[in-house]
Amino acid sequence: MYIYLLGRETELCLAELESKNIETQMLLPNIVMSPKLVDTKNLGGTIKIGELISDSISTVGDLQAEIINYCNKLNLDTKFSYGISSYGSSKINVNQFGIKLKKKLKEIGIKPRYVAANEGNTLNAASLKHNKLTSSNGREFIVINTQNSIKLAICLSFQDVDSYSKRDYEKPCRDRKVGMLPPKLSQIMINLAQIPKSAKVVDPFCGSGGLLMEASLMGYSSIGSDISKDMTDCSQKNTAWLKQNFDNCKPIEILPPTDATNANYPNSDYSIVTEGFLGTNFLSKPTVQLINEQKPQLRDLYLKFFENINLQDNMPQSICISLPFWVLNEKVIELNLIDEIANLGYTISEFKSVRRSTLSYHREGQFTGRQIVVFKPNKEK
C-alpha cells in the first residue's frame, strides 16, 4: 500500500489522482492510501508518496520498535541519515522522539544522523532532497496518526521543489499583470483533461507559456496562441529557455497572434487546456461594482470561445479550463457560466472522489480565484 500526501487544494489533488485512475481511501484530510504507485514527477497535487510498512501500531513504544526493526534489516555499514514527519493529531514530539531513536540505533551498531523536522512536526521536500532522505542510506519515516492507530510509511518520492521554482521564477519572460499559472496547477489541469500521449495539448490563451512548458515536460507536444503579440513573443522566449535548461522536452509550437474566439484547431487529436483571461488583476481590494463591471466582457469572451470550438470539424477530446471567480469579504462572486457553456453542447466531467464538477484554486489574500472545469464536447469528432 502507498500513501499520498496531498497539496493545499486537497480537492483538486484528489481529482488529479482520480484522473490518473488512482483509487484512494482517505486516512487524514490531506493523506490518502492507494494500492497503486506512480511517480510524483508529473503530479502537481501530490507532495510526497510513501510505502506503508506498518498500519496498526498502537503505542509510541511500538512505533520506536517498528522503526528499529526496519533499520536493522537494512544492514547498514555507512552513516545513516533519517528524519521523521508526523501527520494528524500527533501523540509524539517528533524531535524528542527522533533524538531518543538515535541512541537506540547506535546501540544496534548503526551510525545515525538525525535530520530535525523543519516545518512543525514534518520535513519539507527541500529538506528531504538536501539531506538525501530517499537514498540507499537515508530514510524519512512518515508517521500517520489516525483515529484508530498509528501507521508508519517510508517516503519513496517527493516533488522537486527546486525544479518547480526554476520553471516559475527563472524563465526569462514573466508578466505578473496577465497572471501566470503556477507550474503545479498547470500539471494538475493537464492531468484532469486525461489526454492520451499521442494527442496534442492546445492553449489558445497561452500568455507567457507556463502551461505549454509543463505539457512539454510531461511528454505532450503542444501548440500555443494568444491575442497579444507581446505574449506570443514572451512564450517564444520561455519555451526556447525551457529547451536549453531541461532535458526531454516535447516540441512546442507558438502560433502568430490569434483571437481565441475565432481560432482554428489542429486536424490531429488534441485537447484544450487553458487559463483564459481573468479580467483586471486586482492588487488592492476591489468593490462589488468593479467586479460586476468585468463580468459582461468575460462572459462574452468565454461563450464565443466555446461557440467557436463547436464550429471546428475536428473537435478536441476534452477541454480543461480555469475561469475566474472573485472573493470579497469572504463571499464568492462567480461568472455563473458553467451551465450556459454546457448548454452550447458540452458535458461537464464529474469527479467522484470529491463529488464535484468544479474545483477551485484560491490563495489566501488574493481577490481573484480560479475555477477549474473539464468539459467534453457532445459533438462527434
Ligand X SMILES: C[S@@+](CC[C@H](N)C(=O)[O-])C[C@H]1O[C@@H](n2cnc3c(N)ncnc32)[C@H](O)[C@@H]1O
* Binding stretches for ligand X (CB under 6 A): 178-181, 204-208, 210-211, 226-228, 231, 259-261, 275-278, 301
Nearest approach in angstroms of CB 149 to ligand X is 43
Nearest approach in angstroms of CB 363 to ligand X is 15
Nearest approach in angstroms of CB 181 to ligand X is 4
Estimate the crossing angle of helix 210-217 against helix 183-192, to 10 degrees: 60
The answer to whether 212 and 235 are in contact (CB under 8 A) is: yes
Classify 131 as helix, strand or coil. Answer: coil
By C-beta, is 50 or 210 nearer to ligand X? Answer: 210
By C-beta, is 227 or 344 nearer to ligand X? Answer: 227
By C-beta, is 28 or 190 nearer to ligand X? Answer: 190
DSSP state of 329: T
Nearest approach in angstroms of CB 129 to ligand X is 25
Nearest approach in angstroms of CB 228 to ligand X is 4
Nearest approach in angstroms of CB 340 to ligand X is 18
Backbone angles phi, psi at 301, to 5 degrees: -60, -50
DSSP state of 191: H
Nearest approach in angstroms of CB 359 to ligand X is 17
DSSP labels, 148-174: S-EEEEEEEEE--HHHHHHHHHSSS--
Using Cβ positions, the residue closest to ligand X within the complex turns out to be 207
By C-beta, is 152 or 273 nearer to ligand X? Answer: 273
By C-beta, is 62 or 259 nearer to ligand X? Answer: 259
Instruction: Count other C-beta atoms under 10 Å from residue 92's C-beta.
Output: 18
Nearest approach in angstroms of CB 81 to ligand X is 37
Nearest approach in angstroms of CB 254 to ligand X is 12
* Nearest to 323, CA basis, from 339, 309, 334, 332: 334
By C-beta, is 7 or 179 nearer to ligand X? Answer: 179
Q: Could you give the count of Cα atoms lying within 13 Å of 216 in the half-sphere of its Cβ?
A: 28
Backbone angles phi, psi at 174, to 5 degrees: -125, 130
* Nearest to 214, CA basis, from 190, 198, 236, 244: 190
**Per-residue CA distances from 140 to 28, 221, 363 (Å):** 19, 36, 29
Instruction: Count other C-beta atoms under 10 Å from residue 288's C-beta.
Output: 12
Angle at 210 between CA 205 and CA 212, to 5 degrees: 75
DSSP labels, 293-320: HHHHHHHHHHHHHHHHHHT-SS--S-EE
**Which residues are CB-contacts of 365 (< 8 A; sequence separation ≥ 6)?**
none
The answer to whether 131 and 82 are in contact (CB under 8 A) is: no
By C-beta, is 27 or 206 nearer to ligand X? Answer: 206
Per the structure block, which three cell numbers stand in for 50?
510513501
Per the structure block, which three cell numbers stand in for 347?
458535458
By C-beta, is 114 or 241 nearer to ligand X? Answer: 241
Nearest approach in angstroms of CB 278 to ligand X is 5
Classify 105 as helix, strand or coil. Answer: helix
Looking up cell 541512541, which residue turns up?
Answer: 103
By C-beta, is 194 or 228 nearer to ligand X? Answer: 228
By C-beta, is 137 or 266 nearer to ligand X? Answer: 266
